[in-house]
Amino acid sequence: MRSAPYPTRSKAYGHGLLALARRRAEVVCLSGDLTRQCEVDLFQDALPDRFIHAGMAEAHMMGMAGALARRGHIPFVHTFGVFATRRPFDQIVNAIGYPRLPVRIIGFMPGVSSPGGPSHQAVDDMALMRAVPGMTVVDVADAVEAAQVAAAVVDVPGPVYVRLRRGDTPVVFDDADPLDLHHARLLRQGDAVALISAGMMLPAVLAAADTLDAAGMATTVLHVPVVKPLDAASVVAAAARAQVVLSVENHSIVGGLGSAVAEALAEAGSGRRLVRVGLADTYAEGARDAAHLFTKYGLSTQAVVDAAWVALGRGGPPPAAALPPAEVGEYAPV
């Protein structure tokens, strides 16, 4: 694993999908008028015969994708996470979910990573997709995982929802690290607090763990790229080693990773206290940039440190998060 500040890469997913499609003739690519933004301009240029402009018509796009999957194609469907889940929810349930078809829905720009206002912020996409029976829900952390995710999900039985960061993406893992859809990844072990994170919150969680470790609170970090089906055994084991558990997600605390962890701990009789860090049942307003929203709505490194500090019952002020400065082209969490 690398250390912050992280180098960044662009179009990791797009290159990964294209490499997969060159090997697998069944793969077709649908785009809902966000082709370059979803990195599939690469696919369009290289394999135009298998690239389909659905246009600004998400309901229709999901219906077409279901029918294509029935015929043996493997459709990868691309738009922003909000438009991939909220608007065509009924179509996903009926045309894709219920017949358990292998459609891969790729939703870019998760949570408050967009300054585009609540209409563009996918803060409930994981909650919606988790509720669809048989749907696999993937929230990858970095460019290494993004590069692998198309190949990792192509043969998953039934439908898959993948949320992906848009634009330059930090490189956290080593290139040889495999994306494992069946096992959460234990990155660090400590007996005070367990931080369980999904998606792009990983850099903030690792920085928070550094800060907490330095303050004498040994920290476990469990990275969970697959929120459904959840690797409950790893979650319960991580919780068992710690005094308190924090789930950290760029999503509402209702219905996403935090809810999945709560369900796993409760059903296992864990009894560990859980604090859900994420959007606290709110929409996010007033942004020129995503960093501001992450700070304003409690998704900063300091917010994770503070939540752990309070949950552990420590008195006094919490330690200040140590954040390395990022140069242009690098990424560090806020």
Partner 1 sequence: MPDVALPLLADRIRAHAVRMVAPQGFGYLGQALSGAELFAVLYGWALRPGTDAVVVSPGHYVVAAYAAAAEIGLVDPALLATYGRNDSTLEAIGTERSPGMDLTGGSLGQGLSAAVGFALSDRLRGRDDAVTYAVLSDGEMEEGQVWEAALWAAHHRLGQLVVLLDANNSQVDGPVDTITTLEPLAAKWESFGWAARDVDGHDTDALVDALGAVTADERPGVVIARTSTRHGLDCLPADADGHFIKLPQQLATAALAELAARGA
Which positions lie near partner 1, rule CB under 8 A?
A: 28, 49-50, 52, 54-55, 57, 59-68, 70-71, 73, 90-91, 93-95, 98-99
CB neighbourhood size of 119 (10 A):
11
Q: Which two tokens stand for residue 132?
A: 């669809």
- How far lies 51's CA from each of 35, 41, 111, in Å? 10, 9, 27
Q: Give min distance, CB of 60 to partner 1, in A.
A: 4
Nearest to 105 by CA among 39, 64, 162: 162
Residue closer to partner 1, measured from CB, 52 or 307: 52
Q: Give min distance, CB of 114 to partner 1, in A.
A: 24
CB neighbourhood size of 71 (10 A):
7
Using an 8 Å Cβ cutoff, are 287 and 271 in contact?
Answer: no
Q: Give min distance, CB of 95 to partner 1, in A.
A: 6
Whether the bond between 333 and the residue before it is cis, its omega within 30 degrees of 0, is no
- Alpha carbon distance, N-terminus to C-terminus of the chain: 19
**Alpha helices, H only, 5-57:** 12-23, 41-46
Q: Which two tokens stand for residue 93?
A: 């349930």
Q: Give min distance, CB of 100 to partner 1, in A.
A: 9
Residue closer to partner 1, measured from CB, 64 or 238: 64
Residue closer to partner 1, measured from CB, 65 or 238: 65
Residue closer to partner 1, measured from CB, 11 or 78: 78
Residue closer to partner 1, measured from CB, 54 or 128: 54
Q: Give min distance, CB of 161 to partner 1, in A.
A: 18
- How far lies 268's CA from each of 127, 256, 271, 302, in Å? 21, 18, 9, 30
Residues 6 or more apart in contact with residue 173 via CB below 8 angstroms: 1, 2, 141, 142, 144, 145
Residue closer to partner 1, measured from CB, 97 or 107: 97
Q: Give min distance, CB of 154 to partner 1, in A.
A: 18
Residue closer to partner 1, measured from CB, 90 or 289: 90
Q: Give min distance, CB of 87 to partner 1, in A.
A: 11
